[in-house]
Structure 1
Amino acid sequence: MTRKSRLLAGGGVLVVAALVVAVLLMWKPAIAPVSPPPATSFDAQTRLAGARVVALGDCVVCHTAKGGQPFAGGLPLATPFGTIYATNITPDAETGIGNWSLEAFTRALRHGVARDGHLLYPAFPYIHFTRMSDTDISAAYAYLMTREPVNAVAPANELIFPLNFRPLLAFWNVLFLHPGAQQPDASKDAVWNRGKLLVDGLGHCASCHSPLNAIGGEQSGRAFDGGVVDGWEAPALNALGAAPRPWTKDQLVTYLRTGRADEHGAAAGPMLPVTRDLATVPVEDVQAIATYLLSIQKPQPAPANAPAAAEAGSTPGAQRGATLFAASCAQCHGPAAPMQSIGERPTLAFSTAVNAATPRNAIQMMLSGNGWHGEDSENYMPAFGQIYNDQQIADLAAYLRATYSQRGPWQDVEAMAAKLRKENHAR
């Protein structure tokens, strides 16, 4: 055999080997369907534990469409690569997970593989759920299998090529999925370990509060540095000590359970429904989360020096914003407003949105507000997107930043307002 022939033969072997590896990575066997287990097959204590697990995992938040039935799927999840629609996880045998065994359910959470063998998109955060204990997975299965079955088919995903070819997710998983339950750190106490498990695993906090790389994976070494979800900024969870008033454990627990905290403000956007779920779990779970989060704080660069308040407030935009603020905002947010003088609500000077590096969340609050939720209306704020145009939103932002923050002015606010308005309308 000539040298050229040997090289060609060797190259052929490598190609075949690569194809075999690719097939092994991409192909996952189906797990046989089962008859929907009757609700009576799960004891009350396990179902109760499952309710706690499902609430900590925010399952109903992502798997319920606006106006839809709980857990029936259909909620659009916007990603840089297109729209993914949440699946039906009710025990409906035809369109949900009613014919999934506990084995199939566990594989989905641990490995991101559906019962029939197709790979799940990582919008379902199995790279975090994989750290759950077998006990928590079994409890969640019991709870979901005892919900009301809903026959509902989620819309087809709308993803760009080649990301709409599911088998390629096998290679993504090689990079980002590290299966297995989380092991406790013997050098830490039980509360810290419980908090880490909830934050890194079931709560999947890093999936929203971390920047993503070009292929949608969490950037290495930047966990909890902040991210963007549904057009809202998910603030850095490792910078809570750098707030105008550093967060205390009590404040963080109160915020996570009520959506509002003294000296910090109110939850909004995707975070608000999370706080409603956390309000239903035992307080010790939330205390553990707060304990762990406050343990991962790291030094932050000093913010740029802001111009003097008089100088910042003298810009034409800020002056126009002052008039708009007096007309629409001062009744609730002015220093003499009953909400502050009697209701003890925090001044905007402590607001995370007003002090953020970008105006994204301040704009979103003005555009979208916080909807009315009947008795649960403490965080209500009317939307002004239909009242004020993009320039007026930018003027209000300029006034807020100049009046209530010690940080420098935001740039290109009107352009961002226009962009966010368009994106919100498309959702």
Structure 2
Amino acid sequence: MRVTWFRVLLGFLLLLVGALIAALIWAHEPAIAEVDRPDPEAFDASAVEEGARLAAVGNCIACHTVPGGEAFAGGLAVPTPFGTIYSTNITPDPETGIGNWGLAAFERSMREGIDREGNHLYPAFPYTHYTLTSDEDIAAIYAYLMTRQPVEYAAPEPDLPFPLNMRPILAGWKLLYFDKGAFVPDPDASDLMNRGAYLAEGLGHCGGCHTPRNWAGAQIDEAHWSGGSAEGWTAYPIDETSPAPIPWRAEDLAFYLRHGWHAAHGVSRGPMAEVTGNLGRLPDEDIVAIATYTAAQMGTPSQDEIEVADQLLEAVQTGRGRGQAADTMATPPAPENERGAAIFATACASCHEAGRPQPYGGLDFRLSTAVHAGSPQNIVNVTLFGLPPADGAASAIMPAYRSVLSDADMVALLDYMRAAYTDLPAWEGLEEMISATRSGEHHVSIRPADMIERGPGNLGAEEQPWRQD
């Protein structure tokens, strides 16, 4: 009997080892031969210029640059629910960067998430979106990166627990969650819509932040653009469930993406500040294409929603009902939260009740998506850490209150704002979120709202884009 059980156990172990070996063989990808670092002068200048614009759409510099460090040299810590991943060096340094990568190796990394040596890449690098990129655009980005300044720097290895630190298991993840292939235009859509879809779904990887993820870290396709999170910030739904009190129109989105602010929506902050800053490189027609496609995903607001929004905008413009709830203009419930009302009057009202226009004035909170959102995370972040000034440019700023307001003060203030400026129920778990954010348990990246107009067009920068129709 003992011999029989031993043979059964031995057979099971042999099968297990055989299956593991087969899986490793299946997951293996061959290396692509090294090349000599390409001569920067060999690249066409127009391709390099186009690559710069496309790399900006992909937000490459934001992830592959440590603040204050060398551009594209990598090493930025990217916290995930599974551990910390560090961005790689994508400068043309042959030893520590991608200087010995040929175009074929670079294309494979973008299309399949596999590096030159054959290692599977973690999907923190958004190849699940970049796979849609055309051959021509990949070649342009390659030309741009290969003409950057080489930097000798080896990024740290990912800090992940076993077995997640074993890259071959990513082949199984890809089998379940990765659809490889270039963008296919919709024959029933306009050229403008297809261009917007190509940029937003591909290099722009909007869904990387604005779509929720499952237990395995993969985006939930059925909840496309219904809201997610990034770097400690809430990425609002940009579908039909958008919590913005003023419905977004395509022209409003275009202005916001070009300039990093909109009079009826406020300024970009957190990771979105970097996005709008980078998109400033794009020509107006591409900005309009992204905005048109995104607005289509949000759907057309009802006539009732449009009328309510127009009434609210008129009230804000004229100063009517300032400091009152958006829907009924009822008096805010200050008596029930005197502490919150007092803090607001002292710390917030001088900017947010002054009527000074965007982008340098404080947004009227009746227009604030952050105050109307299902999660208070973004308003917690901004109140605690403020808005730092943009580098070398005029920008919106806000002081940080983390050293001034206690957790109890923060709860009182944000509860007051929620009740005073919306007709929505109070946020739950606010105290716990404030404590976790202040302590660093929720890692929050703080980036300035970049107001630099770097694009060739202006999309109406000379006017406040209030709704007039």
Q: What amino acid sits opposite 1:338 in the alignment? A: R
Query: Mapping of 1:26-425 within 5 angstroms?
Result: 26-239=27-240, 243-297=244-298, 312-316=333-337, 319-334=338-353, 336-339=354-357, 346-423=363-440
**Worse-superposed segment, 398-407 or 82-91:** 398-407
1:158 match: secondary structure: coil
Taking the aligned partners of 1:115 and 1:312, their CA distance within structure 2 comes to 61
CA contact (8 A) 1:25 1:171 kept: no
Q: Unmatched 5+ residue regions in structure 1? A: 1-6
Taking the aligned partners of 1:206 and 1:160, their CA distance within structure 2 comes to 26
Following superposition, the deviation at residue 418 of structure 1 comes to 0.4
Q: What amino acid sits opposite 2:208 in the alignment? A: S
Taking the aligned partners of 1:27 and 1:357, their CA distance within structure 2 comes to 44
CA contact (8 A) 1:194 1:288 kept: yes
Deviations 1:376-427 (A, max 9, x none): 3423222111221211111111121122122121122111100112236867
CA contact (8 A) 2:259 2:280 kept: yes
Following superposition, the deviation at residue 314 of structure 1 comes to 3.1
1:224 match: secondary structure: coil
Taking the aligned partners of 1:288 and 1:24, their CA distance within structure 2 comes to 44
Deviations 1:89-113 (A, max 9, x none): 0111111111111000000001111
**Worse-superposed segment, 20-29 or 394-403:** 20-29
Deviations 1:74-98 (A, max 9, x none): 1111110011111110111111111
CA contact (8 A) 2:352 2:361 kept: no
**Which residue number corresponds to residue 3 of structure 1?**
none
Over 3 Å counting, the alpha-carbon distance change for 1:306 and 1:394 in structure 2 is: farther
CA contact (8 A) 2:250 2:294 kept: no
Q: What amino acid sits opposite 2:417 in the alignment? A: L
1:228 match: secondary structure: strand
CA contact (8 A) 1:331 1:337 kept: no
2:79 match: secondary structure: strand
Taking the aligned partners of 2:17 and 2:84, their CA distance within structure 1 comes to 35
Query: Structure 2-normalised TM-score?
Result: 0.82
Taking the aligned partners of 2:248 and 2:60, their CA distance within structure 1 comes to 27
Taking the aligned partners of 1:404 and 1:146, their CA distance within structure 2 comes to 51
CA contact (8 A) 2:74 2:90 kept: yes
Taking the aligned partners of 2:286 and 2:238, their CA distance within structure 1 comes to 17
Deviations 1:118-157 (A, max 9, x none): 1111000001100100000000000000001111121222
1:362 match: secondary structure: helix
Q: What amino acid sits opposite 2:344 in the alignment? A: F
1:366 match: secondary structure: helix
Q: What amino acid sits opposite 2:356 in the alignment? A: P
Identity of aligned residues (%): 43
CA contact (8 A) 1:306 1:408 kept: no
2:85 match: secondary structure: strand
CA contact (8 A) 2:91 2:150 kept: yes
Following superposition, the deviation at residue 311 of structure 1 comes to 7.3
Over 3 Å counting, the alpha-carbon distance change for 1:314 and 1:93 in structure 2 is: same
Taking the aligned partners of 1:76 and 1:343, their CA distance within structure 2 comes to 31
CA contact (8 A) 2:231 2:443 kept: no
Query: Structure 1-normalised TM-score?
Result: 0.90
Taking the aligned partners of 1:152 and 1:193, their CA distance within structure 2 comes to 39
Over 3 Å counting, the alpha-carbon distance change for 1:193 and 1:327 in structure 2 is: same
Q: What amino acid sits opposite 2:259 in the alignment? A: T
1:115 match: secondary structure: coil
Over 3 Å counting, the alpha-carbon distance change for 1:343 and 1:423 in structure 2 is: closer
How many residue pairs are counted as aligned between the two chains? 415
Over 3 Å counting, the alpha-carbon distance change for 1:192 and 1:14 in structure 2 is: farther
Following superposition, the deviation at residue 313 of structure 1 comes to 3.4
Over 3 Å counting, the alpha-carbon distance change for 1:13 and 1:375 in structure 2 is: closer
1:35 match: secondary structure: coil
Following superposition, the deviation at residue 115 of structure 1 comes to 0.7
Taking the aligned partners of 1:84 and 1:309, their CA distance within structure 2 comes to 49
Taking the aligned partners of 2:187 and 2:136, their CA distance within structure 1 comes to 21
Deviations 1:309-355 (A, max 9, x none): 55743333xx2122112222122111x34357x96764111111011
Following superposition, the deviation at residue 307 of structure 1 comes to 11
Over 3 Å counting, the alpha-carbon distance change for 1:21 and 1:200 in structure 2 is: farther
Q: Unmatched 5+ residue regions in structure 2? A: 1-7, 306-325, 445-469
Which structure is higher in RCO with an 8 Å CA cutoff and minimum separation 6? 2
Q: What amino acid sits opposite 1:331 in the alignment? A: S
Query: Mapping of 1:12-31 within 5 angstroms?
Result: 18-19=19-20, 21-31=22-32
Taking the aligned partners of 2:243 and 2:427, their CA distance within structure 1 comes to 19
> Considering only aligned residues, what root-mean-square deviation do their CA atoms show, in Å?
2.8
Following superposition, the deviation at residue 47 of structure 1 comes to 0.4
Deviations 1:161-189 (A, max 9, x none): 22111111010011121111111111011
